[in-house]
Structure 1
Amino acid sequence: MAVTRDIRDRADLDALLRRFYEAAFADPLIGPFFTEVAGTDLDTHLPRIGDFWERALFRSAEYRRDAFGPHAALDSVRPLTAAHFGRWVQLWRATIDGRHAGPLAERAKAQGERIAVAMLRRLGGAEASTDAPEGVGGSGGFVPLAALTLRSVA
């Protein structure tokens, strides 16, 4: 699909999320969290996560679930690291960039990074705040996880 327009509605979100989670489930680094640890059923998961993103981007859906709880449960079985969250962000950004361009697409990418950093910090991942490369980060201590992952590999 050629990048032709911004994210416009729930149908765009649903298609984006399906593409993203299909890639995430197949990914050798983070896929096992979905398939083996959580045993996630994609058809059950997508409407819930769609509500989350519809609320985040359009302020139009009701999302009253605890987004952190399931991640904490996963972390208690198999620790989630900056590399895992960094890969999630990398796949998220690539999926958006492959389908959409515009202000909402940019907001979705930025929001995904903010959520990943917040989750990692809440899970006790100190590297989210201490391993940032020189000059990386922004207001409020925000650190793009992709930079963390690249730095740790370099």
Structure 2
Amino acid sequence: MCETRELTDIGGRDDLDVLLRRFYAAAFADPLIGPFFTEVAGTDLEVHLPRITDFWERALFRTAPYGRDAFAPHAALHSVRPLTPAHFGRWVQLWHATVDGLHRGPLADRARVTGERIAVSMLKRLGGPGAEAAAATGGTGGFVPLAALTLRAAA
């Protein structure tokens, strides 16, 4: 018999660490967006994780300092290999699935909404393929419905 646990809200930095490690494990392995992390950027998760945890701690709890330019690394990636609506859509799918697999509550809701806003904002700022159409319609151009994604939380 499979035991289920009640999902709680994101409670702090420790929860963010677990959430982000789970998310990046999925993102690095994803055939669509994984190469941006592994091949183009050569992301070292142990170096990246404290920075991105600061970012999300600031976004969700307003407690961590974050003075970096979050857009610049994405612009650098885009100059090497264009980021499209489909790439940002997949990021949002994985982000939602990871949050939903671990947490429920107002901060989890904020994390999902913030992730969507960031993805759309970056796409528009990059002006990548499909960005103008997405911006003109208020849509997200290549984003695939979450129902099309199954990502199980690891036990």
| TM-score category (smaller protein) | 0.7 to 0.9
Residue 62 (str. 1) matches residue 62 (str. 2): no
Q: Deviations over 1:3-40 (max 9, x none)?
A: 52000100000100000001000000000000000000
Counterpart AA for 2:143: T
Residue 96 (str. 1) matches residue 99 (str. 2): yes
Match of 1:8 among 7, 11, 19: 11
- The gaps in structure 2 that reach 5 residues or longer are 146-155
Count of residue pairs the alignment pairs up:
139
Match of 1:120 in 2: 123
- The gaps in structure 1 that reach 5 residues or longer are 133-140
Match of 1:23 among 22, 26, 38: 26
d(CA) in 1 for partners of 2:111, 2:5:
18
Root-mean-square deviation over aligned CA pairs: 1.6
Q: Which residues in structure 2 correspond to 1:104-143 (within 5 Å)?
A: 104-124=107-127, 125-130=131-136, 132=137, 141=138, 143=139
Q: Deviations over 1:84-122 (max 9, x none)?
A: 000000000000000000000000000000000000000
SS at match of 2:144: helix
Does structure 2 retain, via aligned residues, the 8 Å contact 1:2–1:98? no
d(CA) in 2 for partners of 1:71, 1:87:
15
Does structure 1 retain, via aligned residues, the 8 Å contact 2:92–2:115? yes
d(CA) in 2 for partners of 1:42, 1:127:
33
How big is the shift at 1:65? 0.2
TM-score (norm 2): 0.85
TM-score (norm 1): 0.85
SS at match of 2:117: helix
Instruction: Give the share of equivalent positions with the same residue, in percent.
Output: 70
